[in-house]
Amino acid sequence: MNYKKNFPNWLAQSVFIKNGDIEVLNGLDYDLFLWLIYNTHHHYFKTKKLSTEFLYTDIKESFEKSLNTDSIKKSLVKLNGMSVMMNCLKSYGDKKIKEATPFRIKLLVDEEVNKSHGFTVTTNEAFMKSFDNPNPKVTLDYNNTTNVKSVSSKLLYLLLRDAYGKYKDVKRNRIIDIYDLKELLNEINEETTNSQFVVKLKKYVKSINSNTDIYVTFQKMMKLHHNGKKEMEKIKFTISLKSLPVLVTQKKNSKDTLSVEKPIEEMAETVDADTVIETDPFEEFLDSKVKEIVKNRHDIKNIEAFSKSTKNNLRVKEDVLSEYSFYQMMDDEKKKLKPKIQNNQPHIVILTNGNPYCSCYVNEKYQFVNIIDIKIQTSNVNETIEFFENKMVDGYYWDILQSDQSDKFNVARI
């Protein structure tokens, strides 16, 4: 769904209520909730009218996935008259919870054929005005919410994307009480233990990391009682904005074309001696990988042509993009850890819980390797990312280790 909208921050902390009870939504329900916000506000902004009509085909054309008409109608019936409690963590404005009933929806039935092709929706003026000029503005790219499947992943993405805000090139932390988090993520099953919820949370975070513009890790925060027992009390999220390159391909169908390539003009430039030309870190990363490939090949006839072709192939490979994302994250950690080095000896970065026998480093193939028995823990970068995320939940952290053989640790070397 190629829509973007600035949304009021308190919408990111929402709980849905119907007939006095918390309403359990599914992924389609929430996608249509956001679709209605975008399209009713677009209509209201142009006409100042609160009521309008839509066809089911209007919804279907907005989504890349195939939608069933009966499923759409079922979701619309659920959204009709549903209330939304917002600012539930009391983070914004007057620190009070806001409530609205955004949509009154009526399915339109053609009596001659006894079939429904669309619906009317009447919205709430105060709710609509909140989207006119929200402050502070956080832009929601609806593709990021439709790319993740479960409603809990969608709600968590919006919560954390709002928490990250308008920052760039920094990491942001958000600590949330685990019971508040369950409620905000539509996880209201009282039989689900905190440990079971964390297992689900790992899946939600994995989906967000794979399909959206942010990268998330989280840790359990425990409360120690007087009797010595520990209780999971809060979850600490660490959020960063991905800076991977946007890959745009020219499609054959002109209707599907998102951008038009501009001709490249050759020109001569003179650069003053004190001018600094910033290099693209992703290009440097690709160049280093190409250099490594060329070094290990002895059958290349034209190195320049081979290097160019190899670089173009690497540029669109998902595992290479994952490596670059992980490489950037490690580079950030190295910058934080460098002040801890107290001598001129070589060091490497390790993932540890304080026990050397459980500590690992990342090798040149982006595999985690145990520092004691040199046993490989992961086979590829995607397993490495999942391993890292799981270990962070269990209290692992990045640290440094002095090593006389740091030249062997291409990725881990600091």
Domain membership flag for residue 103 = yes
- The residue with tokens 């959020």 is 239
Which regions in the chain score pLDDT beneath 70?
A: 1-2, 136, 169, 190, 243-280, 405-410
**148: which 2 tokens?**
């993740």
Domain membership flag for residue 266 = no
For 382-412, write each residue's pLDDT tens digit: 888 888 888 877 788 899 998 876 556 667 8
pLDDT at residue 79 in the model: 97
Q: Please indicate, yes or no, whether residues 33 and 115 belong to a single structural domain of this protein.
A: yes
Phi and psi torsions of 109, nearest 5°: -115, 125
Give the count of domains, the chain.
Answer: 3
Domain membership flag for residue 320 = no
Is the pTM above the cut of 0.95?
A: no
- Which residue in 219, 61, 89, 103 sits closest to 158, CA to CA? 89
Of 243, 264, 294, which residue sits at a domain end?
243
Q: Residue 237 is part of a domain; what is its CATH number?
A: 1.10.10.10
Q: Which residues form the domain of 67?
A: 1-135
Q: Cα separations (Å) of 258 from 2, 149, 252, 255, 306?
A: 10, 24, 11, 8, 30
Domain membership flag for residue 6 = yes
Domain membership flag for residue 317 = no
pLDDT at residue 292 in the model: 85
Q: Please indicate, yes or no, whether residues 131 and 152 belong to a single structural domain of this protein.
A: no
Of 243, 268, 295, which residue sits at a domain end?
243
Domain membership flag for residue 289 = no
Q: Please indicate, yes or no, whether residues 371 and 394 belong to a single structural domain of this protein.
A: yes
Q: Please indicate, yes or no, whether residues 228 and 118 belong to a single structural domain of this protein.
A: no
Of 100, 135, 170, which residue sits at a domain end?
135
Domain membership flag for residue 304 = no
For 17-66, write each residue's pLDDT tens digit: 998 888 989 999 999 999 999 999 999 999 999 999 999 999 999 887 78
pLDDT at residue 125 in the model: 93
Domain membership flag for residue 162 = yes
For 139-170, write each residue's pLDDT tens digit: 778 888 888 889 999 999 999 998 888 777 67
Q: Please indicate, yes or no, whether residues 181 and 119 belong to a single structural domain of this protein.
A: no
Q: Are 349 and 406 in contact (CB under 8 A)?
A: no
